[in-house]
């Protein structure tokens, strides 16, 4: 995909006849002396780096620190006897993701090249896990992957039958979110797990997703508030946005974890996680508001004039005409911001949470795994990358979905 490649021109094929790889290399890599030298030097550097990396991965690194702590990395100290709940959650998410993918791709092919490569890599990882972890885990993961793929095919059929389902997807996912949250958290007839006891990737995902879901509407409201005709609303929005944007996230997190309890009356206790999520949400909302405002301003004035001339009231003009176009225009920016919010959850480690980075640090302080920094952080890197890349893929799908037939 050209968008992820820093040098799209190097990848894009000539528009006319196909040429052989040799001819292609000759034309693009060895066209003259300086080019040839550049190519050789670059190839050398790449080979040297790749050799070093592979050498480290396969001969020097000691991966027991990962395989022995896999559960800690992923679900942290979630009670062992309740492990069926995270697994069920994974199943539900895989099933819904597959269905959604299928519904969105109802009139195109299900998997393009990138999709197939991603699927292949996931399957390979699932298979490879059999050795260090256990055959059962590996089979379970493969089964879930299978469910997801089957769901994608089913979703395509369902989408063809009920095309209007697409507009319900956001609401459906909100419902799924509450089900998943209820399963993790417990309550009602399930044994309760305190939010503050969550850790590992589970905590990272929980804080990131909740902050993303909450900061979106808040950010949109702030953006609208900033353009409001009511001076009170406008000044409050501007004040909030500018104050938050003037503070580093880490100070907001420190305030939420240290200051808030001091300010609140002693009998009111708010979970630490909830306070941290509030901090992340407010921070993200302020930036989101500015992005959305950019989108709002990019809509030509003729749009709202035409809508007003049709007799639509001001709120309807905003909701039906301006916002849909503005949000569509800023999807890439918004997703970029959500990706960075996801990565920013790693700052929670500094204020004492055991999310992915925090649990990594506590694993590293275990005397059995002293000094295994490189392995642990390499593993964290891969996890963060996978999550962020998944978001990027989803956003591209969303853009294509919304972009069909317009402009």
Partner 1 sequence: MTQAQTDTIQPEVSSEKVIIARDVEKWYDNNFHVLRGVSLTVNKGEVVVVMGPSGSGKSTFIRTFNALESYQKGSIEIDGIKLSHDLKNIETIRREVGMVFQQFNLFPHLTVLKNVTLSPIWVRRWPKAKAEEVALQLLERVGILEQAHKFPGQLSGGQQQRVAIARALAMQPKIMLFDEPTSALDPEMVREVLDVMRTLANSGMTMVCVTHEVGFAREVADRVVLMDSGVLVEEATPEEFFQNPKEERTQKFLSQIL
* Binding residues vs partner 1 (CB under 8 A): 300, 302-303, 305-314, 316, 320-321, 324-325, 328, 405-407
Q: Indicate the residue among 47 and 306 with the shorter CB distance to partner 1.
A: 306
Q: Indicate the residue among 271 and 305 with the shorter CB distance to partner 1.
A: 305
Q: How far is the CB of 229 from partner 1 (least distance, A)?
A: 11
Could you please report the per-residue DSSP string of 238-271? HHHHHHHHTS-HHHHHHIIIIIHHHHS-TT----
Distances (CA, A) of 167 to 275, 320, 338: 33, 14, 22
Q: Is 190 helix (H, G, I), strand (E, B) or coil?
A: strand
Q: Indicate the residue among 9 and 229 with the shorter CB distance to partner 1.
A: 229
Q: Indicate the residue among 312 and 388 with the shorter CB distance to partner 1.
A: 312
Residue 187 forms beta bridges with which residues? 190
Place of tokens 């300010």: 263
Q: Indicate the residue among 15 and 302 with the shorter CB distance to partner 1.
A: 302
φ/ψ of residue 329, rounded to 5: -65, -25
Distances (CA, A) of 47 to 31, 39, 310: 22, 12, 65
Q: How far is the CB of 163 from partner 1 (least distance, A)?
A: 12
Q: How far is the CB of 261 from partner 1 (least distance, A)?
A: 46
- Secondary structure percentages of the chain, helix, strand, coil, to 5: 80, 0, 20
Q: How far is the CB of 308 from partner 1 (least distance, A)?
A: 7
Between helices 373-403 and 356-364, what is the axis angle to 10°?
A: 170
Q: How far is the CB of 108 from partner 1 (least distance, A)?
A: 18
Q: How far is the CB of 329 from partner 1 (least distance, A)?
A: 10
Whole-angstrom distance, CA of residue 320 vs CA of residue 314: 10
Q: Indicate the residue among 88 and 303 with the shorter CB distance to partner 1.
A: 303
């Amino acid at each position: 995909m050209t968008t992820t490649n820093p040098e799209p021109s190097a990848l894009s094929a000539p528009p006319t006849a196909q040429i052989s790889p040799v001819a292609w290399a000759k034309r693009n890599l060895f066209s003259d002396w300086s080019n040839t030298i550049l190519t050789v030097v670059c190839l050398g550097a790449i080979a040297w780096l790749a050799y070093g990396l592979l050498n480290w991965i396969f001969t020097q690194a000691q991966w027991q620190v990962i395989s022995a702590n896999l559960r800690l990395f992923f679900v942290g100290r979630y009670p062992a006897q309740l492990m069926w709940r995270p697994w069920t959650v994974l199943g539900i998410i895989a099933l819904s993701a597959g269905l959604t993918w299928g519904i969105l791709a109802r009139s195109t092919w299900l998997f393009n090249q990138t999709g197939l490569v991603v699927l292949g890599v996931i399957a390979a990882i699932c298979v490879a896990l059999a050795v260090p972890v256990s055959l059962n885990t590996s089979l379970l993961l493969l089964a879930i992957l299978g469910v997801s793929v089957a769901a994608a095919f089913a979703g395509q059929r369902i989408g063809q039958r009920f095309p209007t389902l697409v507009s319900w997807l956001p609401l459906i996912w909100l419902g799924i979110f509450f089900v998943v949250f209820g399963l993790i958290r417990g309550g009602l007839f399930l044994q309760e797990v305190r939010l503050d006891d969550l850790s590992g990737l589970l905590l990272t995902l929980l804080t990131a997703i909740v902050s993303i879901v909450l900061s979106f509407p808040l950010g949109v409201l702030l953006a609208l508030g900033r353009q409001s005709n009511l001076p009170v609303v406008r000044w409050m929005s501007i004040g909030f946005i500018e104050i938050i944007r003037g503070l580093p996230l880490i100070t907001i997190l420190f305030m939420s974890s240290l200051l808030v309890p001091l300010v609140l009356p002693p009998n009111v206790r708010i979970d630490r996680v909830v306070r941290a999520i509030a901090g992340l949400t407010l921070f993200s909302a302020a930036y989101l508001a500015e992005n959305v405002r950019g989108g709002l301003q990019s809509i030509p004035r003729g749009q709202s004039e035409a809508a007003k001339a049709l007799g639509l009231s001001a709120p309807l003009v905003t909701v039906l005409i301006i916002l849909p176009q503005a949000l569509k225009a800023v999807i890439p920016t918004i997703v970029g911001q959500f990706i960075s919010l996801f990565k920013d959850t790693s700052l929670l480690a500094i204020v004492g949470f055991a999310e992915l980075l925090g649990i990594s640090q506590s694993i590293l302080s275990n005397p059995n795994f002293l000094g295994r920094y490189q392995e642990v952080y390499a593993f964290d890197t891969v996890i963060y990358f996978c999550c962020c890349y998944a978001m990027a893929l989803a956003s591209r799908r969303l853009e294509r979905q919304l972009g069909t037939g317009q402009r």
